[in-house]
Structure 1
């Protein structure tokens, strides 16, 4: 029956362009279809009924096929606008993180400001940068499915998956920028040049933990 499902999906993608992107989409749709078929059989449906229900649940695939031809499956114009806005916000955030370290050094070494006040000012700038990054991740447009067909579920999953990847990248950026800031604080404020470099090893471990956490969630 799995071969019959594959044949049905092959027929649906008969007019799709012969590209890696189309093949990936076809395989992902087939995997979702097989999962649905298995669930139906496990719930007591016979194989033929499960096959018919699974096939009927696919929904309208014409939009996906046209999207493959036009390279606009998930509204790439909107995604491109978001990428540009996201790049702008992230650039400002990274600039603020870097400037916070420069401000710390200037306040301590040039203007002889109290170390505690200097650190507080730096952390305030870092907090503003972090808020920008969190806002950028939280404001990403999400796809809302119009019905319960497999095609719409796939679109929603794809959009959610992209959002999670972007959140993970943002978290890693925050962690590493925080690591660099902490390195300069330990080195300049406390004069701990001899062992402050260890913070980068800790940062690498934290990055691996973040990646593992997201993979376990998936």
Structure 2
């Protein structure tokens, strides 16, 4: 095996050090190793297996001419990612994803608690003990505290990932590391699929509680709405947390949207992030104004799911327009 690797290194020594030649070298090495192991299983000796592999894969002149590799000149080989950096990135990404998921959950739990408190003060056991306005003030205070804590989580999660910004400039993975990442990614896929399925089911089922509660009692529909928000919050947690873990594998393996970090994709993310940073605080202001000024705590919660839907629609329209 060492002979094959050394031979391959000598073949590529004179070629320009680009990502294209690196990927070609890794693919050839994988094929040569596979052929070597097949020959060993057939009973070939070490020297026989190595000789056959080199004779079959040794000539890469046609590939060089086809890919026009000989015309390169600059030493543009991207840095190899070390195993410790790779695994520390996956751990940091997982932690950051957990914090973001919890932060988003808190932002959705706040309105749910506010609705419950106001309803309890109007119809529940807090009636006569706590006025509606007082319950609303307490609920808003809790909401603001949760949002502040969530913002802190968002900022901290961003700081965790700052040290890995250099990966955006590009990197390569050693063959053994890529193989292990692919195995881990495949092992994680059933968990990711289960979390995605469960999250979708929670989103689909959640409105049923509002309908059922409204049929039982119009006065306490807010309870059903609060539970709906909690179920959606749990679904969002599943989407973000497990989606972030999946994204870490996708990014390191350069799959899906990370196959090529195109300027268009970066611009799309920048625009969507900028819009979301404006729209969500605006939605919160609408929620608070409609509650305190117009006393519509029973229905104003819809501003949050509607905002999420509108952002999704905008992202789809943006992609369609850019595709033309």
What range is the shorter-chain TM-score in?
Answer: 0.3 to 0.5
Tell me the TM-score normalized by structure 1: 0.46
- The structure having more radius of gyration, on CA atoms, is 2
